[in-house]
Structure 1
Amino acid sequence: MSQNRTDLRVVRSRTLMENALLSILENKGIKGLTVKNLCETAGINRGTFYLHYNDIFHLIEETVFIQELLSVFEPLNLQKLMRYPDHEGAYPPITKAFQYMHKHASFFKALFHSDAPAELKERLQYLVGTRLYENLKRNQDDHSENLFTDYAIAYLGNAQFGMIQHWFTADRSIPPEDIARMLTRYIRNTPCLDNEG
């Protein structure tokens, strides 16, 4: 019984913090997002915050929006993308990811804002860029190939992050399906993938 009460308190605290996060991003933007502001908005103390999260970036990574986006992006498999039969269309997981970001644009636009802290940009780039391409490292034995693959991953991760950021900076001036088609085409034609399994 006490375990249930504890679980409910955890859920309640996390819900309060996520709601406060969304409120701050919507009303003050990314610059207004601090642990102090978040705790005041959520009506909790700093101790409660740090009981659940390491820092504000950890909270962002744990939000349902980021977790859902990662679950949509998870199917991204370069070998399948390269073999996808529709050479003019977008690879479906990429389309789903852009549609998801479009649906929750107020959240993602705040995160991808040019004023976002450098640490947040680095973490986002890892989550929505680099992480997706780490399967390139598999089956690489030779050290030079590993080094090359690290550069390929950095290139692809930065490129993907940059496209997403530019799409939000341009206020999503083209539909999600079109930006997904562009990204699919760019990945297919990336020179550093010519020798990647």
Structure 2
Amino acid sequence: MDLRIQKTEKAIKNAFLELRAGKPLEKITVKELCGLALINKSTFYSHYDDIYALSEAMEQETVASIIGSIDHLKDYTTDNPDAFTRELCLAFMSQISLIKILFSGRELSHLGIRLDKALKEVIFRKYPEYENDLEKQILLSYSIQGTYYAYLSNPDADTDTFVRTIENIVRCLKPLL
């Protein structure tokens, strides 16, 4: 990618994050974003259709980053779901500042839904038989989204306590896998 395009993308995303940290997505205008990013509106529109498309792209990048930062993702099996859960929790927590900005307000549920979809794609590649097993899909959604909402509901929990508790829950669910 051209260096100018990279710089423009970075300016747009940084301006968006700065604005998004202070206000709901629906209150952000292209005009104010462009002013902060020091670009004109036509430049913005050459990259994105609107603010929602930008938000969508950044949400997808964040989820991809979380999934991509799970060490040895392909090595996890149903024999060690607690190890996978630990890595997922730590990957999620490493992005928490960005997550709190992008997925706040009305977008709160988006991360749980996106993680659910992305992780299932990874799991279904390894275990294709799960894709047609409704019970497995429900169990996976419960585990993935349950972890996300447990974190949101317990923001004061320290990392070790949170991760250890989620690992224990997954160990209890292991016989269902």
Which of 102, 116, 132 is 2:106 aligned to? 116
Using the TM superposition, give the Cα deviation of residue 83 of structure 1 relative to its aligned residue in structure 2, in angstroms.
7.0
Q: Deviations over 1:51-104 (max 9, x none)?
A: 3345033332355x55433322364535253375xxxxx9541353254135xx
Q: Distance in 1 between matches of 2:112 and 2:71?
A: 15
Using the TM superposition, give the Cα deviation of residue 11 of structure 1 relative to its aligned residue in structure 2, in angstroms.
0.5
Gaps of 5+ in 2: none
Structure with the larger helix share: 2
Which of 140, 143, 147 is 1:156 aligned to? 143
State, as a whole percentage, how many aligned pairs show the same letter.
21
Q: Please say if residues 29 and 110 of structure 1, whose CA atoms lie closer than 8 Å, have aligned partners that are also in contact.
A: no
State the secondary structure of the residue aligned to 1:189: helix
Give the structure 1 partner of residue 87 of structure 2.
Answer: 93
Which of 10, 18, 25 is 2:5 aligned to? 10
Q: Kindly tell me: are residues 187 and 140 of structure 1, through their superposed partners in 2, closer, same or farther at Cα, counting changes over 3 Å?
A: same
Give the structure 2 partner of residue 183 of structure 1.
Answer: 166
* TM, length-normalised to structure 2: 0.71
Q: Deviations over 1:94-153 (max 9, x none)?
A: 353254135xx2x3223343x233xx633x223333422445442418x9x522223223
The amino acid that maps onto 1:38 is L
Q: Kindly tell me: are residues 146 and 91 of structure 1, through their superposed partners in 2, closer, same or farther at Cα, counting changes over 3 Å?
A: closer
Which of 50, 53, 56 is 2:54 aligned to? 56
Q: Kindly tell me: are residues 83 and 149 of structure 1, through their superposed partners in 2, closer, same or farther at Cα, counting changes over 3 Å?
A: closer
Using the TM superposition, give the Cα deviation of residue 19 of structure 1 relative to its aligned residue in structure 2, in angstroms.
1.1
Q: Please say if residues 19 and 33 of structure 2, whose CA atoms lie closer than 8 Å, have aligned partners that are also in contact.
A: yes
Q: Distance in 1 between matches of 2:153 and 2:41?
A: 34
Q: Kindly tell me: are residues 148 and 91 of structure 1, through their superposed partners in 2, closer, same or farther at Cα, counting changes over 3 Å?
A: closer
Moved more, 156-165 or 91-100: 91-100
State the secondary structure of the residue aligned to 1:79: coil
Give the structure 2 partner of residue 140 of structure 1.
Answer: 129
Gaps of 5+ in 1: 1-5, 85-89
Give the structure 2 partner of residue 127 of structure 1.
Answer: 114
Using the TM superposition, give the Cα deviation of residue 157 of structure 1 relative to its aligned residue in structure 2, in angstroms.
2.9
- Give the paired residue count: 170
Q: Kindly tell me: are residues 130 and 66 of structure 1, through their superposed partners in 2, closer, same or farther at Cα, counting changes over 3 Å?
A: closer
Moved more, 177-186 or 37-46: 37-46
* TM, length-normalised to structure 1: 0.65
